[in-house]
Amino acid sequence: MDTDTVAPSPTAQPLHFHRTAQPAASQAQPRWRVQAVADLLDLPFTELMFQAQTVHRQHFDPTEVELATLLSIKTGGCPEDCGYCPQSAHHPTGVAATKMMTPEAVREAVLGAKAAGATRFCMGAAWRAPKDRDVEAVAELVRTIKAEGLEACATLGMLEQRHADALRDAGLDYYNHNLDSAPDFYGDIITTRDYQDRLDTLARVRSAGVKVCSGGIVGMGESRLQRAGLIAELANLSPYPESVPINHLVKVAGTPLADQPDLDPLEFVRTIAVARITMPTARVRLSAGRRQMSDAVQALCFAAGANSIFYGDKLLVTGNPDVAADQALLARLGMTARGVAAA
């Protein structure tokens, strides 16, 4: 396996906004070669940040961040063997399998998230793929979220077309399904389903007319070129996802990746910057791993173009900075939350 390289390549040149991608005549958006993305990752840090900030300002207010609250509506006992995941039944992590939460309990969480200032509510379930009755139950929860004026997002595993259509009909705004890694690293992390399964689900979500939320995890032992491979896969989806979560691996005891060596935090910031440059209008989400990150690194992520965070003291099963800590951080940075939800 390649090791991380954090020194800028001596041959990398400042790009000054010339596209490094090879536009294909038949496509509305440029296709990104993996090497072109790797060239961005290799840029001197200051140059990379300048490019990312310039792109960010063309499409967003760089002082504004989206607050999304995450809720695990069905936890643990998952049949998949994703090497990073505390909810896989294959790994002895001590996470107990639960039944799906009741609609009342979910509604309470939605009201709490709205009162705390979140505008987006994301529900996660530890399923390989939901059954028809699971989708019916989640559709009801989507209606609850929409009735409170929040955007609704769900991540339930692989979807059939009828499931994506039913979630759309209920008003789902985004479906999250991550590519997670470059295609050539995926098999090192997950063996129970393949990359094409992931792409197929994303295609069904797109075809249902639900916005796509798809990203990956950084810090699993991938090389810089493989980080470029992940970003190129995402950026070459046509169209690219509206929402791109970049997770830092949360090392959980009992998972195969528990003892993964630490990643240079600047490498994570670089990945955010390259996601911003290659997917200019996407919401780039500084996702898992913030509790293990310093405020300074988070600030660099915002400066690199991240404009969404998970907000609330828990992710799915692991911790997240608490609301007071996040409000203090945003105040220190002079950043504001994206418009509060309507009635």
List interacting residues with ligand SF4 (CB under 6 A).
78, 80, 82, 85, 87-88, 126, 128, 157
- Binding range to ligand DTB, per CB under 6 A, among 17-25, 230-238, 242-250, 325-333: 242-250
Q: Interface residues for ligand SAM in 105-124 (CB under 6 A)?
A: 124
Which residue has 């690219």 as its token pair?
A: 240
Helix (H) / strand (E) element for 285: namely strand 283-286
Helix/strand/coil for 279:
coil
- Least distance to ligand SF4 from the beta carbon of 126, Å? 4
Site membership for ligand SAM, residue 250 (CB under 6 A): yes
Decide if 301 is catalytic. no
Q: Choose between 87 and 320: whose C-beta lies nearer to ligand SAM.
A: 87
Q: Choose between 85 and 123: whose C-beta lies nearer to ligand SF4.
A: 85
Which residue has 């059954």 as its token pair?
A: 131
Site membership for ligand DTB, residue 308 (CB under 6 A): no
CA distance 34 to 195: 17
Helix (H) / strand (E) element for 246: namely strand 243-248
Q: How far apart are the first and last CA of the chain?
A: 51
CA distances from 119 to 157, 179, 210, 271 (A): 23, 25, 17, 25
Helix (H) / strand (E) element for 310: namely strand 308-310
- Least distance to ligand SF4 from the beta carbon of 23, Å? 34
Strand partners, 22: 31
| Residue 88 interacting entry, from ligand DTB, ligand SF4, ligand SAM, none, C-beta within 5 to 8 Å by type | ligand SF4
How many chain residues bind ligand DTB (CB under 6 A)? Answer: 18
**Which of 130, 215, 265, 312: binder of ligand DTB (CB under 6 A)?**
215
Rounded (10°) angle between helices 45-59 and 265-278: 40
Instruction: Mark residues 65-104: x for contact with ligand SAM by CB under 6 A, - for none.
Output: -------------------xx-x-----------------
Q: Please name which of 294, 293, 290, 297 lies closest in space to residue 318, comparing C-alpha atoms.
A: 290
**Which of 71, 288, 293, 323: binder of ligand DTB (CB under 6 A)?**
288
Burial of 332 (0-12, 13-18, 19+ CB in 10 A): exposed
Site membership for ligand DTB, residue 317 (CB under 6 A): yes
* DSSP category for residue 54: H
Site membership for ligand SAM, residue 247 (CB under 6 A): yes
| Residues forming the active site | 78, 82, 85, 122, 153, 213, 285
Interface with ligand DTB by CB under 6 A: which residues?
70, 86-87, 122, 124, 155, 176, 178, 215, 245, 247, 250, 287-288, 315-318
